[in-house]
Amino acid sequence: MEHLSPRRPLDRRALCALIGPLDATSSQPLYRQVQRGLREAIDRRLLGPDDALPGERDLAEDLSVSRITVRKALAGLVADGLVMRRQGSGNFVAGRVEKNFAALTSFSEDMRARGLVPHSVLLKRAAGTVTPEEALALGLSPGTAVLRFHRLRYADDAPMAIEYATVVASALPTGLDSVGDSLYEALERAGQRPVRALQRLRAVLLSEPQAKLLHAKANDAGLLVERIGLLRDGRPIEMSHSFYRGDTYDVVAELSAP
Protein backbone atom coordinates (compact mmCIF):
# COMPACT_ATOMS: atom_id res chain seq x y z
CA MET A 1 0.00 0.00 0.00
CA GLU A 2 1.62 3.20 -1.13
CA HIS A 3 1.32 6.34 0.92
CA LEU A 4 2.76 9.10 -1.20
CA SER A 5 0.88 12.34 -0.64
CA PRO A 6 0.59 14.76 -3.56
CA ARG A 7 2.99 17.67 -3.26
CA ARG A 8 1.33 20.92 -2.28
CA PRO A 9 2.60 24.28 -3.52
CA LEU A 10 4.74 25.75 -0.76
CA ASP A 11 4.09 29.31 0.38
CA ARG A 12 7.72 30.35 0.90
CA ARG A 13 6.71 33.84 2.02
CA ALA A 14 4.51 32.42 4.81
CA LEU A 15 7.24 29.98 5.76
CA CYS A 16 9.87 32.74 6.04
CA ALA A 17 7.46 34.89 8.05
CA LEU A 18 7.00 32.04 10.49
CA ILE A 19 10.74 31.38 10.80
CA GLY A 20 11.84 35.00 10.98
CA PRO A 21 12.83 37.61 11.62
CA LEU A 22 16.10 36.15 12.83
CA ASP A 23 18.08 37.90 15.52
CA ALA A 24 21.86 37.77 15.07
CA THR A 25 22.33 39.29 18.54
CA SER A 26 20.31 36.60 20.31
CA SER A 27 21.99 34.09 22.61
CA GLN A 28 20.34 31.40 20.49
CA PRO A 29 22.45 30.59 17.39
CA LEU A 30 20.94 31.40 14.00
CA TYR A 31 20.75 27.75 12.97
CA ARG A 32 18.70 27.06 16.13
CA GLN A 33 16.32 29.88 15.22
CA VAL A 34 15.89 28.48 11.71
CA GLN A 35 15.40 25.00 13.13
CA ARG A 36 12.80 26.22 15.63
CA GLY A 37 10.87 28.00 12.86
CA LEU A 38 10.87 24.96 10.58
CA ARG A 39 9.77 22.77 13.48
CA GLU A 40 6.87 25.17 14.14
CA ALA A 41 5.94 25.13 10.45
CA ILE A 42 5.74 21.34 10.59
CA ASP A 43 3.74 21.42 13.83
CA ARG A 44 1.27 23.93 12.31
CA ARG A 45 1.00 21.85 9.13
CA LEU A 46 2.23 24.68 6.95
CA LEU A 47 4.56 21.89 5.92
CA GLY A 48 2.72 18.57 5.84
CA PRO A 49 3.95 14.97 5.66
CA ASP A 50 6.01 14.27 2.51
CA ASP A 51 6.09 17.96 1.51
CA ALA A 52 9.33 19.11 -0.09
CA LEU A 53 11.29 21.76 1.77
CA PRO A 54 12.78 24.70 -0.12
CA GLY A 55 16.33 24.12 -1.28
CA GLU A 56 19.20 25.14 0.97
CA ARG A 57 20.13 28.02 -1.35
CA ASP A 58 16.54 29.32 -1.49
CA LEU A 59 16.15 29.16 2.28
CA ALA A 60 19.49 30.86 2.83
CA GLU A 61 18.56 33.70 0.44
CA ASP A 62 15.05 34.11 1.87
CA LEU A 63 16.35 34.25 5.45
CA SER A 64 19.56 36.17 4.70
CA VAL A 65 21.77 33.53 6.33
CA SER A 66 24.53 31.27 5.04
CA ARG A 67 23.89 27.88 3.50
CA ILE A 68 25.99 26.39 6.30
CA THR A 69 23.46 27.78 8.81
CA VAL A 70 20.56 26.25 6.87
CA ARG A 71 22.40 22.94 6.44
CA LYS A 72 23.07 22.73 10.19
CA ALA A 73 19.42 23.50 10.99
CA LEU A 74 18.20 20.79 8.61
CA ALA A 75 20.71 18.26 9.97
CA GLY A 76 19.17 18.65 13.42
CA LEU A 77 15.67 18.05 12.06
CA VAL A 78 16.88 14.95 10.20
CA ALA A 79 18.44 13.66 13.42
CA ASP A 80 15.11 14.20 15.21
CA GLY A 81 13.25 12.26 12.52
CA LEU A 82 11.17 15.25 11.38
CA VAL A 83 12.87 15.63 8.01
CA MET A 84 14.10 12.98 5.58
CA ARG A 85 16.82 13.43 2.97
CA ARG A 86 16.23 11.77 -0.38
CA GLN A 87 19.31 11.48 -2.52
CA GLY A 88 19.01 13.56 -5.66
CA SER A 89 15.60 14.93 -4.64
CA GLY A 90 16.16 17.14 -1.59
CA ASN A 91 14.69 17.34 1.89
CA PHE A 92 11.14 16.32 2.77
CA VAL A 93 8.96 16.44 5.86
CA ALA A 94 8.90 12.94 7.30
CA GLY A 95 5.54 11.22 6.91
CA ARG A 96 4.14 8.40 8.97
CA VAL A 97 4.62 5.01 7.34
CA GLU A 98 1.57 2.81 6.88
CA LYS A 99 2.43 -0.86 7.22
CA ASN A 100 -0.10 -3.22 5.67
CA PHE A 101 0.02 -6.35 7.79
CA ALA A 102 -2.20 -8.26 5.39
CA ALA A 103 0.83 -8.71 3.09
CA LEU A 104 4.10 -10.46 3.89
CA THR A 105 6.69 -7.96 2.72
CA SER A 106 10.14 -7.03 3.91
CA PHE A 107 11.13 -3.69 5.40
CA SER A 108 13.15 -2.89 2.25
CA GLU A 109 10.17 -3.62 0.00
CA ASP A 110 7.89 -1.47 2.16
CA MET A 111 10.24 1.51 2.00
CA ARG A 112 10.88 1.24 -1.75
CA ALA A 113 7.11 1.13 -2.36
CA ARG A 114 6.95 4.56 -0.72
CA GLY A 115 9.74 6.04 -2.80
CA LEU A 116 12.24 5.82 0.07
CA VAL A 117 15.72 4.32 -0.05
CA PRO A 118 16.19 1.60 2.57
CA HIS A 119 19.51 0.66 4.07
CA SER A 120 20.77 -1.01 7.22
CA VAL A 121 23.52 -0.51 9.74
CA LEU A 122 24.73 -3.82 11.11
CA LEU A 123 24.86 -3.74 14.90
CA LYS A 124 25.85 -7.37 15.37
CA ARG A 125 25.89 -10.65 13.51
CA ALA A 126 26.86 -14.03 14.83
CA ALA A 127 26.53 -17.76 14.26
CA GLY A 128 25.51 -19.95 17.15
CA THR A 129 22.99 -22.50 18.37
CA VAL A 130 19.38 -21.96 19.35
CA THR A 131 18.40 -20.61 22.71
CA PRO A 132 15.50 -22.36 24.50
CA GLU A 133 13.18 -19.51 23.40
CA GLU A 134 14.26 -19.82 19.75
CA ALA A 135 14.00 -23.62 19.83
CA LEU A 136 10.42 -23.38 21.10
CA ALA A 137 9.37 -20.68 18.62
CA LEU A 138 10.98 -22.33 15.60
CA GLY A 139 10.36 -25.95 16.55
CA LEU A 140 14.06 -26.78 16.49
CA SER A 141 16.07 -29.35 18.40
CA PRO A 142 18.62 -28.18 20.99
CA GLY A 143 21.97 -27.52 19.36
CA THR A 144 20.53 -26.53 15.94
CA ALA A 145 22.73 -23.98 14.19
CA VAL A 146 21.28 -20.49 13.64
CA LEU A 147 22.45 -17.12 12.34
CA ARG A 148 21.61 -13.90 14.16
CA PHE A 149 21.43 -10.41 12.66
CA HIS A 150 20.91 -7.24 14.70
CA ARG A 151 20.37 -4.25 12.43
CA LEU A 152 19.28 -0.62 12.53
CA ARG A 153 16.91 -0.09 9.60
CA TYR A 154 16.79 3.25 7.80
CA ALA A 155 14.46 4.90 5.30
CA ASP A 156 16.59 7.47 3.48
CA ASP A 157 18.54 9.02 6.37
CA ALA A 158 15.97 8.43 9.13
CA PRO A 159 16.24 5.47 11.52
CA MET A 160 12.95 3.57 11.50
CA ALA A 161 13.45 0.30 13.35
CA ILE A 162 15.82 -1.89 15.33
CA GLU A 163 15.56 -5.48 14.17
CA TYR A 164 16.78 -8.62 15.92
CA ALA A 165 16.46 -11.59 13.55
CA THR A 166 17.33 -15.26 13.96
CA VAL A 167 17.46 -17.55 10.92
CA VAL A 168 17.93 -21.30 10.71
CA ALA A 169 21.50 -21.61 9.43
CA SER A 170 20.65 -24.27 6.83
CA ALA A 171 18.46 -21.68 5.05
CA LEU A 172 21.53 -19.58 4.21
CA PRO A 173 24.23 -21.99 3.04
CA THR A 174 26.68 -19.16 2.33
CA GLY A 175 26.48 -18.00 5.93
CA LEU A 176 26.53 -14.59 7.55
CA ASP A 177 28.01 -12.79 4.53
CA SER A 178 24.99 -13.61 2.36
CA VAL A 179 22.80 -10.97 4.05
CA GLY A 180 23.09 -7.34 2.97
CA ASP A 181 20.37 -4.74 3.47
CA SER A 182 17.50 -7.22 3.06
CA LEU A 183 17.30 -10.56 4.87
CA TYR A 184 14.27 -11.64 2.84
CA GLU A 185 16.07 -10.99 -0.43
CA ALA A 186 18.95 -13.21 0.77
CA LEU A 187 16.46 -15.94 1.75
CA GLU A 188 14.75 -15.60 -1.64
CA ARG A 189 18.06 -16.09 -3.45
CA ALA A 190 18.56 -19.26 -1.41
CA GLY A 191 15.02 -20.45 -2.23
CA GLN A 192 14.06 -20.18 1.44
CA ARG A 193 11.90 -17.05 1.61
CA PRO A 194 8.91 -17.28 3.99
CA VAL A 195 5.51 -17.29 2.31
CA ARG A 196 3.48 -17.03 5.51
CA ALA A 197 4.08 -15.48 8.91
CA LEU A 198 2.64 -15.29 12.39
CA GLN A 199 2.88 -11.79 13.82
CA ARG A 200 2.19 -10.17 17.15
CA LEU A 201 2.15 -6.43 17.79
CA ARG A 202 2.67 -4.85 21.18
CA ALA A 203 2.92 -1.30 22.45
CA VAL A 204 6.17 -0.78 24.36
CA LEU A 205 8.23 2.00 25.87
CA LEU A 206 11.61 2.47 24.23
CA SER A 207 14.59 1.82 26.45
CA GLU A 208 17.35 4.39 26.60
CA PRO A 209 19.68 2.43 24.24
CA GLN A 210 16.82 1.84 21.77
CA ALA A 211 15.73 5.48 21.91
CA LYS A 212 19.28 6.65 21.24
CA LEU A 213 19.51 4.51 18.10
CA LEU A 214 16.09 5.66 16.87
CA HIS A 215 16.71 9.37 17.64
CA ALA A 216 13.90 9.33 20.18
CA LYS A 217 13.69 9.79 23.94
CA ALA A 218 13.78 7.10 26.60
CA ASN A 219 10.25 5.90 27.43
CA ASP A 220 8.83 7.28 24.19
CA ALA A 221 6.06 5.12 22.72
CA GLY A 222 7.30 2.29 20.54
CA LEU A 223 5.83 -0.58 18.57
CA LEU A 224 7.21 -4.11 18.92
CA VAL A 225 6.52 -6.46 16.02
CA GLU A 226 7.30 -10.13 16.67
CA ARG A 227 7.33 -12.32 13.57
CA ILE A 228 7.83 -16.00 12.82
CA GLY A 229 8.24 -16.67 9.10
CA LEU A 230 7.21 -20.03 7.65
CA LEU A 231 8.03 -21.82 4.41
CA ARG A 232 5.41 -23.26 2.07
CA ASP A 233 5.57 -26.61 3.85
CA GLY A 234 4.84 -24.93 7.18
CA ARG A 235 8.36 -25.08 8.63
CA PRO A 236 9.40 -22.00 10.63
CA ILE A 237 12.57 -20.55 9.13
CA GLU A 238 13.12 -17.20 10.88
CA MET A 239 11.99 -15.18 13.84
CA SER A 240 12.41 -11.49 14.46
CA HIS A 241 11.72 -8.80 17.03
CA SER A 242 11.52 -5.31 15.54
CA PHE A 243 11.18 -2.11 17.56
CA TYR A 244 9.69 0.89 15.76
CA ARG A 245 9.24 4.49 16.83
CA GLY A 246 5.59 4.87 17.72
CA ASP A 247 5.33 8.27 16.03
CA THR A 248 6.44 7.05 12.60
CA TYR A 249 4.43 3.87 12.01
CA ASP A 250 0.72 3.20 11.51
CA VAL A 251 -0.61 -0.35 11.34
CA VAL A 252 -3.11 -0.99 8.54
CA ALA A 253 -5.03 -4.21 7.88
CA GLU A 254 -7.86 -4.95 5.48
CA LEU A 255 -10.67 -6.82 7.22
CA SER A 256 -13.55 -8.77 5.74
CA ALA A 257 -16.63 -10.34 7.25
CA PRO A 258 -16.56 -14.14 7.70
112-170, pLDDT tens digit by residue? Answer: 766 678 889 999 999 999 999 999 999 999 999 999 999 999 887 778 899 999 999 99
Selected from 3.40.50.300, 3.90.1570.10, 1.10.10.10, 1.10.3720.10, the CATH number assigned to the domain covering 12-93 reads 1.10.10.10
Segment (H or E) for 108: helix 107-113
**Is-contact 209 111, C-beta < 8 A?**
no
**Is-contact 198 230, C-beta < 8 A?**
yes
Q: Where are the domains of the chain?
A: 12-93, 97-252
Bridge partners of 147? 127, 167
> What are the angstrom distances between the C-alpha of 191 and each of 171, 187, 237?
8, 6, 12
Mean pLDDT of 19-29: 84
DSSP string, 57-93: HHHHHHHT--HHHHHHHHHHHHHTTSEEEETTTEEEE
Q: 97-252: which CATH topology? A: Chorismate lyase (3.40.1410)
Confidence of residue 107 (pLDDT cuts 50, 70, 90): confident
Say whether 126 sits in a helix, a strand or coil: strand
- Read off the pTM: 0.65
